[in-house]
Amino acid sequence: MKIAIGSDHAGFHLKQVLIAEMQAIGHEVFDLGAFTDEQPADDYHLTGAQVAERVVSGAVERGVVICGTGIGISIAANKVPGADAALCNDLFTAQMSREHNDAKVLAMGSRVVGEGLAKEILRVWLATPFAGGRHIARNQNLRRIEARYSRGAGTGGGGRAL
Ligand code: RB5
């Protein structure tokens, strides 16, 4: 699979570990940064949105985003309509986010999970298929909510384009 991955400075080291893990399984990984663990001017919102944009556009099939808790970067990814990023810091939610939610972006917190658990969460998440069935209509409701609040593309608030 083609997989985009991104982090902030806090998620940098775990990102490197997970890149190696995915490449070892045979996936093609696109690293969108951060490229250092030093605190930058820009933060998790940039890479979170960039990973989500690549998933939604179809450039890649899945995305992985990491910050300290996974919260900020998952919120950022979910600002991109259609991203459906899931914050999974345990194995059960990783499995359910695929089976029920068809989540195509996985978020984790580098200050929450150790490397061993993070690798296992990633493997479960990548290997678990969407169950379909009753979940299809439920997930389509998310698109309706997005459409209701959509004001068109753009940076929206005078910030620089992502
Ligand atoms: C950075 O200190 C931290 O706030 C960030 O990585 C993340 O946890 C935010 O949600």
pLDDT by 10s per residue, the chain, length 162: 999 999 999 999 999 999 999 999 999 999 999 999 998 766 899 999 999 999 999 999 999 999 999 999 999 999 999 999 999 999 999 999 999 999 999 999 999 999 999 999 999 999 999 999 999 999 999 999 999 988 765 544 333 444
- Class for domain 2-131, per CATH? alpha beta
In the prediction, which pLDDT does 42 show? Answer: 67
Q: Give catalytic status of residue 67 as yes or no.
A: yes
Helix (H) or strand (E) holding 3: strand 2-7
CA distance 2 to 133: 26
For residue 71, which atom of ligand 1 is closest to its CA? 10
Atom 6, ligand 1: residue with shortest CA distance: 68
CA distance 75 to 84: 10
Of the residues 9, 13, 45, 100, only one is catalytic, namely: 100
- Long-range contacts at 136-140 (CB < 8 A, ≥ 24 apart): 139/84, 139/101, 139/102
pTM over 0.85: yes
**Can you say whether the dihedral through the CA atoms of 73, 74, 80, 86 is positive or negative?**
positive
- Among 45, 73, 78, which residue has the most ligand 1 atoms within 8 Å of its CB, making it the best to mutate? 73
In the prediction, which pLDDT does 154 show? Answer: 52
